[in-house]
């Protein structure tokens, strides 16, 4: 069997920059630097966002499994991402919810962390926030101004694409031309730009704008693209190994990140490998909060006509599709995933409790060829993280374990246990349902106690209003679920 160091040499990644599957060769042997665009924290994640973060979690886990020391940087966008009316998404949400912008950031960052932990997504090595890197962003903008690749206009700074194109080609990642940067989505066009396709590096803040910082150009806030260029290069260097995100970020976000870094550092690319996950769709259309065509993790229950699925099954469902394929979210797909997953876990349980003394010792041609199977599993994941192929290999062996365990050589039982654990738990990041249940039940226990507290308060109010019928009814309902109330005199 190949050693892990040999398996490592055969990892191929589809590089969006070249449009080819390429052997993965890191800049520094044994170390990998990876940057993934994190969420803009103005809303709860939808299932599509989860798909992207689960996919990169798999990449992170597999690189570590291969023995690489991985520095995984995934940012939090907490300023600068604009809505179609040019208002900052977080600022707008703070107005709508009547909260401080930083309360919005805190609320949705906590929700993001909580959800990813439920989905068993490992935290990154560094999670920088855009607002924590304003000085570095101003520095990079100044560097671009010095090189005449950016210009200031009325307190805002724009990237000068005409000047950039004199030295470097624009569109190397998306193959788009600069005129496609004139965003039809935006309802307002900025007249002060030299060219309509020039994008913002720094935006002048209006007097009522709370999220603004002093800069050489007056009070303002950074543009979304500059944030990622700055945070990635600060922690990973001017050029690093892998840059990732959803395919919807390829243009203009990643193309602009790339242009900024090429311009500032005179490098060929920001990252050697660019990876893009494809979209999770609902009814055939991209899941997206802004169009309303989206579901959150708590919506699965009602969407699936009151059938609940554990977050673990959702993770398995996601990994059953290759990260570069479009994937439609359906109840049927989840049911199928649940069945397959249950069978795989059943086979692991059989292996764990199996008494191999009853098995034959001798080598025989009819035996299940374990080394060949392990090789096949590694080949599938090495082929641009082909999780559906890996899962089909796992499924095949789980069938043998469940129905023909005698086909397995005695001395191979432990080996099979070891590799099933590697593939299912360490790399795919799945969990046995009992572990999952403890996590989700602690979540629902928490919700239940909040609900009970609210009901008790509600009953107190009913009593104060002398609404004895309602207060009695609540007391009886609570006593049915074991909550006994002892009333004291009110007045
Ligand atoms: P956002 O907070 O909108 O920047 O999105 C966070 C991440 O989720 C980005 O990498 C997006 O590309 C990704 N994403 C957004 N919608 C979907 C979707 N429907 N399917 C998969 N990934 C998505
Ligand atoms: Zn980004």
Q: Tell the residue nearest (CA) to atom 8 of ligand 1.
A: 49
Residue 283 lies in a domain: no
229: CA distance to ligand 1 center in Å?
18
Same domain for 328 and 262, yes or no, is no
CA separation for the pair 296, 391 (Å, rounded): 25
Beta bridge partners of 285: 282
C-alpha 302 – ligand 1 centre gap (Å)? 23
Looking at the DSSP assignment, which residues form a beta bridge with residue 242? 34, 273
Provide the terminal-to-terminal Cα distance of the chain, rounded to the nearest Å.
81
- Is 369 inside a domain boundary? yes
> From the alpha carbon of 286, which atom of ligand 1 is closest?
19
- For 277, residues 6+ apart whose C-beta sits below 8 A from its C-beta are 51, 52, 55, 56, 244, 245, 246, 247, 323, 324
Is residue 204 located within the same domain as residue 171?
yes
CB 231 within 8 A of CB 139: no
CA 253 to ligand 2 center in whole angstroms: 7
251 and 362, same domain (yes or no) = no
Element (H, E) at 437: helix 433-464
Final residue in a domain of this structure, among 244, 277, 310: 277
Q: Could you tell me the CATH number of the domain that includes residue 214?
A: 3.40.50.620
Domain that holds residue 256: 12-277
Q: Name the residue of 36, 40, 49 whose CB sits within 8 Å of the most ligand 1 atoms, as the mutation to test its pocket.
A: 49
Picking from 220, 199, 226, 217, the residue whose alpha carbon sits closest to that of residue 77 is 226
Strand order through the sheet with 280-282: 285-286, 280-282, 327-328
Domain identity same for 231 and 378: no
Distance CA 102, CA 123 (A): 21
* Own/partner pairs, 144-148, CB within 8 angstroms, 24+ separation: 144/201, 144/260, 144/263, 144/264, 147/263, 147/264
My answer on whether 141 and 214 are in the same domain is yes
Count the helix, strand and coil residues of the chain and give each as a percent rounded to the nearest 5: 50, 15, 35
**Contact residues for 123 (Cβ-Cβ < 8 A; gap 6+):** 113, 116
**Nearest-ligand number for the alpha carbon of 288:** 1
Ligand 1 neighbours (beta carbon < 6 A):
37, 39-40, 48-49, 51-52, 245-246, 248-249, 277, 279-280, 286-288
Final residue in a domain of this structure, among 246, 277, 308:
277
Is the peptide bond preceding residue 49 cis, with omega within 30 degrees of 0?
no
Q: What's the rounded Cα separation, in Å, for the pair 282 and 298?
A: 15
- pLDDT (tens, 9 = 90+) of the chain, 491 residues, equals 789 999 999 999 999 999 999 999 999 999 999 999 999 999 999 999 999 999 999 999 999 999 999 999 999 999 878 776 677 888 889 888 999 999 999 999 999 999 999 999 999 999 999 999 999 999 999 999 999 999 999 999 999 999 999 999 999 999 987 777 766 555 556 678 998 899 999 999 988 888 899 999 999 999 999 999 999 999 999 999 999 999 999 999 999 999 999 999 998 899 999 999 999 999 999 999 889 999 999 999 899 998 899 999 999 999 999 999 999 999 999 999 999 999 999 999 999 988 877 776 666 666 789 999 999 999 999 999 999 999 999 999 999 999 988 888 888 899 999 999 999 999 999 998 765 554 554 445 556 666 777 788 788 888 888 888 888 888 888 776 767 776 755 54
Residue 426 lies in a domain: yes
Query: What is the count of structural domains for the chain?
Result: 3
Return all residues near 84 (Cβ < 8 A) that are at least 6 apart.
185, 186, 187
Name the residue with the closest Cα to ligand 1, atom 12: 246
The upper half-sphere exposure of residue 212, i.e. CA atoms within 13 Å in the direction of its Cβ, equals 18
Q: Are residues 417 and 442 in the same domain?
A: no
What is the distance in A from the centroid of ligand 1 to the CA of 280?
9
Sign of CA dihedral 285, 291, 292, 296: positive
């Amino acid at each position: 069997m190949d050693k892990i160091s040999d398996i490592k040499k055969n990892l191929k990644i589809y590089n969006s920059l070249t449009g080819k599957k390429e052997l993965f060769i890191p800049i520094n042997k044994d170390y990998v630097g990876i940057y993934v665009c994190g969420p803009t924290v103005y809303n709860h994640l939808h299932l599509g966002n989860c798909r992207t973060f689960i996919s990169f979690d798999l990449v992170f886990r597999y690189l570590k499994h291969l023995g690489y020391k991985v520095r995984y940087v995934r940012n939090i966008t907490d300023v600068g991402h604009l809505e179609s009316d040019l208002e900052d998404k977080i600022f707008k949400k703070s107005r709508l919810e009547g909260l401080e912008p930083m309360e919005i950031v805190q609320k949705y960052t906590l929700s993001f962390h909580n959800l990813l932990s439920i989905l068993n997504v490992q935290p990154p090595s560094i999670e920088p926030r855009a607002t924590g890197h304003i000085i570095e962003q101003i520095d990079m903008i100044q560097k671009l101004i010095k090189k005449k690749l950016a210009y200031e206009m009325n307190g805002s700074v724009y990237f000068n694409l005409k000047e950039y194109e004199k030295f470097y080609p624009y569109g190397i990642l998306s193959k788009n031309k600069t005129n496609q940067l004139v965003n039809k989505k935006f309802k307002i066009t900025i007249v002060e730009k030299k060219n309509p396709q020039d994008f913002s590096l720094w935006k002048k803040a209006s007097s009522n704008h709370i999220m603004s910082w002093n800069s050489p150009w007056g009070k303002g806030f950074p543009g979304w693209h500059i944030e990622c260029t700055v945070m990635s290069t600060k922690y990973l260097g001017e050029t690093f190994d892998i840059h990732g995100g959803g395919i919807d970020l390829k243009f203009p976000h990643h193309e602009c990140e790339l242009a900024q870094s090429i311009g500032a550092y005179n490098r060929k690319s920001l990252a050697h490998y660019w990876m893009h996950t494809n979209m999770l769709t609902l009814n055939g259309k991209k899941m997206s909060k802004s169009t309303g065509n989206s579901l959150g993790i708590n919506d699965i229950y009602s969407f699936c006509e009151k059938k609940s699925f554990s977050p673990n099954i959702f993770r398995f469902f996601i990994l059953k599709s290759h990260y570069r394929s479009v994937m439609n979210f359906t109840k049927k797909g989840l049911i199928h995933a649940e069945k397959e997953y249950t069978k795989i876990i059943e086979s692991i349980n059989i292996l764990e409790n199996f008494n191999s003394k009853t098995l034959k010792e001798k080598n025989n041609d009819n035996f299940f060829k374990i080394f060949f199977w392990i090789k096949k599993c590694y080949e599938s994941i090495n082929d641009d993280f082909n999780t559906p192929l890996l899962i089909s290999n796992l499924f095949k062996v789980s069938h043998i374990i469940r129905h023909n365990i005698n086909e397995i050589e005695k001395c191979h039982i432990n080996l099979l246990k070891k590799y099933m654990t590697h593939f299912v738990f360490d790399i795919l990041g799945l969990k046995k349902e009992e572990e999952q249940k403890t996590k989700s039940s602690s979540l629902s226990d928490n919700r239940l106690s909040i609900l009970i507290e609210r009901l008790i308060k509600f009953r107190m109010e009913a009593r104060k209003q002398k609404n004895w019928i309602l207060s009695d009814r609540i007391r009886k309902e609570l006593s049915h679920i074991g909550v006994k109330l002892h009333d004291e005199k009110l007045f």
